[in-house]
Amino acid sequence: MYLSAEDFQAISLTLQLASVTTVLLLLLATPVAWWLAHTRSVWRAPVASLVALPLVLPPTVLGFYLLVALGPNGPIGQLTQWAGWGTLAFSFWGLVLGSVVYSLPFAVQPLVNAFEAMGPRPMEVAATLRASQWDAFFTVAVPLAKPGFVMAAMLSFAHTVGEFGVVLMIGGNIPDTTRVVSTQIYGHVEAMEYSQAHGLAGVMLVFSFVVLLGLSWFNHRSDQHKKVGA
């Protein structure tokens, strides 16, 4: 079992994609999750459902709509062309956009849970200790929701690494640009290169197991801490 230069390229691209996606997701998911955890608006349920949509939608459907939207005549495509960036379909940033949409629920849900578990009290206490809303958010809410942030980051990263359908639809399978580990494995299998497929598949298997193991250890630890604190 050995990994070719293309395989390493695919691994490197996958890690880049997952890292960028995770960072963007945390930035996007935090305000969304905060709003979902605190609002009493009638829009809460529709927005929550929209965010959760990638959980149930076949990745090909999501990929198809994204492809249309990113294309020269799609709304996003027109916007990016107007901005002078060309179209994002079949590019790295197109993949990033697709991954952000695809993994959104995995970032939002742990954060919503963390913010809800915290309750309104810590923010109220901070206000009575002279902290403004923003100050309290960064110095109280974020540290208290740390387990939620860790969980959101790990899940987003792992889920992005594991995506296939969306990548195939909007990325094609262009070496060094949009060929990630999952599509590379697919390519190997199509080409009957089973030993190379084994190598990459093994890497994915070990990676996924380690992530899940890490998550369960982390959960266990923060649960223990909570029990003592209660």
Partner 1 sequence: MNIHLQLDIARADFDVSVNVQLPAHGITVIYGPSGCGKTTLLRCVAGLEPKARGVVQLGHEVWQDDSQHVRLPTHQRALGYVFQEASLFDHLDVAGNLTYGHQRAERNNRNAMSQAVVQQTIELLGIGHLLKRRSHELSGGERQRVAIARALVTQPRLLLLDEPLAALDHARKQEVLPWLEKLRDDLNIPMLYVTHAVDEVARLADTLVVMNQGRVQANGPVAEVLTQTDLPVVVGEDAGALLTGIVLNIDTQWHLAQVGFAGGALWVRDSGLSVGQTVRLRVLARDVSVTLQQATHTSIQNHVPCVVDAITPESHPSQMLLRLRCGDSVLLARVTARGVHELGLQVGMPAWAQVKSVALVK
- Lookup result for tokens 């179209």: 87
Q: Find the binder of partner 1 among 68, 127, 150, 204 (CB under 8 A).
A: 127
Q: Please tell me whether residue 39 binds partner 1 under the rule CB under 8 A.
A: no
Give CA separation, 192 vs 27, 57, 185, 197, in Å.
41, 30, 10, 9
Nearer to partner 1, 192 or 230 (CB): 230
- 44 backbone dihedrals φ, ψ, rounded to 5°: -60, -50
Q: Please tell me whether residue 134 binds partner 1 under the rule CB under 8 A.
A: no
Give the CA radius of gyration of the chain.
20
Q: Please tell me whether residue 229 binds partner 1 under the rule CB under 8 A.
A: yes
Round to the nearest angstrom and report the end-to-end CA distance of the chain: 51
Identify which range of 7-15, 70-78, 132-140, 161-169 contacts partner 1 by CB under 8 A: 132-140
Q: Find the binder of partner 1 among 125, 189, 206, 213 (CB under 8 A).
A: 125
137 to 166: interface string for partner 1, x by CB under 8 A: --xx--xx-x--------------------
- The backbone region for 104, taken as left when phi is positive above 0, alpha when psi lies in -120 to 50, beta otherwise, is alpha
Q: Please tell me whether residue 111 binds partner 1 under the rule CB under 8 A.
A: no
